[in-house]
Structure 1
Amino acid sequence: MIGYSTIGVKDMKKAKAFYTDLFDAPVQVDIGRLAMIGKTLDAPMIAVCEPFDGNEPSCGNGAMIAFSAATKDEVNDMYAKAISLGATCEGAPGQRIDDVFYGAYVRDPDGNKLAFYIFG
């Protein structure tokens, strides 16, 4: 259902390196101030961009992009990889809702909040 999500960044080179490394996925489209990163053009992607209005990017209060995982180990691995790439912890991996939701939370180098999760 979601084609791509876009987040504002300060440093395109740093943001592209962070997200291509984090997801082991290439830049699919790069138009200078915006780059779309994903496995293929027909799968969901993350877009990083310098804001069109030229102002500083900002993170939304309560805004977050969540990325599904296949296993709890994959949640743990994505969290650890994000931290190793310069993200900061917003909630270490763990069970959140009984046996229904397992997740981990980070902020990327620009402060955008990301979640890695699995239901079940």
Structure 2
Amino acid sequence: MIGYVTVGTNNLETSSRFYDAVFAEIGATRFWVEERFIVWATEPEKSKFCLIKPYDGEPATVGNGVMVAFEVSDPSLVDALYNKSIDLGGKDEGFPGNRGEHFYGAYVRDLDGNKLYFFTSI
């Protein structure tokens, strides 16, 4: 149902390196690159993630209550994505573990403060 998700950045070059390394863990690569944005995908017909410098020229800010969730195939990928994000300067928002009865996941903030959730159904 979701075609793509966009989050803002104030430093496209630095933040794109963060996402290149994190998304390499799940085989996502740059799908489309423009001066103001970069889009990653695992396959052209699958949902996508976009990092963008705001078009209005104002600084990118974090949306209160906004979170992007990435579903992966197993808990080891959740751990790998979490660890890679932290190693690259991301901030811990919830160490990997069970989230209720049905999910295993971890929460991080990227270099611009955007909240990300890596999860798998269990």
State the AA in 2 paired with 1:27: R
Q: How does 1:1-120 map to 2 (within 5 A)?
A: 1-24=1-24, 25-98=28-101, 100-120=102-122
- Give the structure-1-normalised TM-score: 0.93
State the AA in 2 paired with 1:117: F
**Residue 55 of structure 1, CA deviation:** 0.4
- Give the structure-2-normalised TM-score: 0.92
**Residue 70 of structure 1, CA deviation:** 0.9
Which runs of 5 or more residues in structure 1 are unaligned? Answer: none
State the AA in 2 paired with 1:13: E
- Residue aligned with 1:58, SS: coil
**Residue 80 of structure 1, CA deviation:** 0.5
- Residue aligned with 1:23, SS: helix
Q: Give the distance between the partners of 1:58 and 1:41, measured in 2 at CA.
A: 28
- Is the contact between residue 16 and residue 27 of structure 1 (CA under 8 Å) also seen in structure 2? no
- Residue aligned with 2:92, SS: strand
- Structure 1 ranges of 4+ moved more than 6 A: none
| Identity of matched residues, % | 38
Which runs of 5 or more residues in structure 2 are unaligned? Answer: none
State the AA in 1 paired with 2:34: I
**Residue 40 of structure 1, CA deviation:** 3.0
**Residue 108 of structure 1, CA deviation:** 0.1
User: In the comparison of the two structures, how many residue pairs are matched?
Assistant: 119
